[in-house]
């Protein structure tokens, strides 16, 4: 397998086949809590992507010193300091978004998707492989956050892409308002669960259809 | 017991200590490089958030120059000390801006900036900090809805102080769909601040020269 196909298959696995949110169902607390709008999803998605990539690289770089009995404290130290540094950077450069995401930036520490990647991948693989793994898993998680955010914003507020200024600067903008007001349930906590369930169901339905067409019914996944 | 057990523990401890030192250094460096910018952001945010509650008023000087700190116990909302930004024009009082904390929000305290002009009417209200439910309680933010604008120019005489409440509670103010605790708490805090101002207007504007910060 050449280097490029390795990276493509890694990306495919992070974004689709082993998506941390859709398939591994990890990191659901931030996923469900902040995805009320697209920009919130994008902001937290990018933050998680950065932390995941850096933590993978750091864990992988230090893996020869990692001993089984102290590995969890080491992961926690690395991830917690990365998140703290990132929170300070957000406060300094994206103050509006930091206010909007609030407690969920520090809570990236508790995103089990990050510890999970450190444990099952980064601590056993090379720095470059861990970097690619962090990028692909992080991208998968960020894309899911954006998709759920956009979906809930559309249903709940009747708008898309509002308040992008929180991330990119400029005047406050209301985005594309399609209908005034929306179906409130979508932005409430139950709406978060329902939206995630719809996305998971949609993904499984697509996978199943693909499986049927390739006639590999016998390879049905056992959960 | 394994012979290697003891050195192993020490080595593990040393590795952990070194890693902790590196991580602490990382956070410390980030902190010292971003701290000025974060402080500047907070100051700019304060100045910017003071502007909307002063719309239509004539005043001179920098806004945050003449501040007053009211230590507890006081009759204002919240239990901590309250910062008051006093606004003057030719040393005549124009308005007082109170930073108060409504304790009984739905998901925690709500920090409010309440501007009251010298005649006792609201010159504007803004939410500084809150953790209310996105899409429901957070409509108290001026960026998300104009709910907070309905208090402008109101005073304890208009409407009568008896009807300073949301419509559901027999008052005159609009509520927010799906959230009644949040508006109730905001309105209560505004009313308490107005009552305090009515009783202590003299003291609030007195000794302007002494307490400049």
Q: What pLDDT digit, counting tens, does each position of A111-165 carry?
A: 888 888 888 899 889 999 999 999 999 999 999 999 999 999 888 877 777 777 7
B190 pLDDT band, cuts 50/70/90, is very high
Which residues have CB under 8 Å from A123's CB, separation 6+? A59, A60, A63, A66, A71
Predicted-complex ipTM score: 0.71
* DSSP-derived secondary structure for B145-213: -SGGGGGTT--STTTTGGG-SBGGGTSSB--BTTBSHHHHHHHHHHHHHHHHHHHHHHHHHS-TTTT--
Interface touch A84/B30, C-beta < 8 Å: yes
Both tokens of residue B83?
């910062």
pTM of the full structure: 0.68
Which among B19, B45, B177 has the least Cβ separation from residue A74? B19
Measured in angstroms, the CA of B112 and the nearest CA of chain A are apart by 15
Residue numbers in B near A156 (CB within 8 A):
135
Which of A171-180, B101-110, B133-142 is the least confident region?
A: A171-180
Digit-coded pLDDT (tens) for A18-54: 888 888 888 888 888 888 888 888 888 988 999 999 9
- Tell me how close the Cα of A3 comes to any Cα of chain B, in angstroms: 32
Can you tell me the mean pLDDT for B124-136? 83
Phi, psi of B122 (to 5 degrees): -70, 125
Domain ranges of chain A: 3-215
Among chain A residues, the shortest Cα distance to B37 is held by A92
| Interface residue B24 vs chain A (CB under 8 A) | yes
> What's the pLDDT tens digit per position in B46-59?
777 788 888 778 77
Q: How far apart are CA A216 and CA A218, in angstroms?
A: 5
Q: Given this model, what pLDDT does residue B106 score?
A: 87
Q: Is B145 on the interface with A (CB under 8 A)?
A: no
Q: How far is CA B165 from the centre of its chain?
A: 21
- Which pLDDT does position B22 carry in this prediction? 92
Q: Which residues of A touch B48 (CB under 8 A)?
A: none
B128 three-state secondary structure:
strand
Query: Do B34 and A62 count as a contact with CB atoms less than 8 A apart?
Result: no
């Amino acid at each position: 397998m050449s280097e490029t196909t390795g990276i493509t298959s890694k990306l495919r696995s992070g974004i689709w086949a082993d998506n941390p949110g859709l398939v591994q169902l990890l990191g659901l607390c931030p996923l469900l809590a902040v995805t009320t709008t697209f920009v919130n999803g994008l902001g937290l998605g990018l933050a998680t992507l950065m932390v995941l990539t850096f933590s993978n690289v750091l864990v992988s770089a230090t893996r020869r010193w990692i001993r089984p009995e102290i590995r969890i404290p080491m992961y926690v130290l690395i991830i917690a300091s990365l998140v703290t540094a990132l929170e300070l950077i957000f406060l300094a450069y994206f103050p509006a978004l930091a206010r909007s995401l609030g407690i969920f930036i520090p809570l990236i520490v508790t995103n089990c998707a990050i510890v999970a990647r450190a444990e099952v991948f980064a601590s056993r693989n090379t720095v470059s492989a861990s970097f690619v793994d962090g990028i692909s898993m992080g991208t998968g998680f960020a894309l899911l956050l954006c998709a759920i955010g956009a979906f809930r914003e559309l249903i709940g507020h009747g708008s898309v892409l509002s308040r992008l200024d929180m991330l990119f600067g400029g005047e406050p903008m209301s985005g594309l308002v399609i209908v005034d007001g929306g179906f409130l349930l979508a932005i409430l906590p139950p709406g978060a669960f329902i939206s995630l369930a719809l996305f998971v169901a949609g993904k499984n339905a697509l996978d199943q259809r693909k499986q049927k067409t390739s006639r590999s019914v016998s390879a049905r996944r056992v959960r | 017991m394994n012979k290697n057990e003891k050195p192993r523990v020490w080595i593990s401890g040393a590795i952990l200590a070194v890693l902790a030192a590196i991580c602490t250094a990382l956070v410390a460096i980030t902190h010292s490089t971003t701290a000025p910018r974060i402080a500047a952001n907070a100051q700019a945010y304060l100045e910017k958030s003071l502007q909307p509650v002063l719309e239509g008023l004539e005043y001179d000087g920098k806004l945050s120059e003449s501040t007053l700190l009211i230590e507890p116990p006081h009759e204002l909302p919240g239990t901590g000390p309250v910062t008051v930004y006093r606004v003057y024009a030719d040393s005549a009082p124009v308005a007082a801006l109170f930073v108060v904390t409504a304790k009984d929000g739905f998901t925690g305290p709500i920090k409010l900036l309440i501007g009251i002009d010298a005649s006792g009417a609201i010159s504007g209200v803004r939410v500084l900090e809150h953790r209310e439910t996105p899409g429901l309680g957070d409509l108290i933010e001026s960026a998300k809805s104009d709910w907070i604008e309905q208090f402008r120019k109101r005073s304890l005489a208009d409407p009568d102080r008896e009807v300073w409440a949301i419509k559901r509670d027999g008052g005159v103010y609009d509520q927010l769909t799906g959230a009644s605790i949040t508006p109730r708490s905001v309105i209560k805090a505004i009313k308490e601040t107005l009552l305090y101002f009515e009783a202590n207007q003299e003291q609030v504007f007195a000794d302007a020269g002494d307490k400049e910060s």
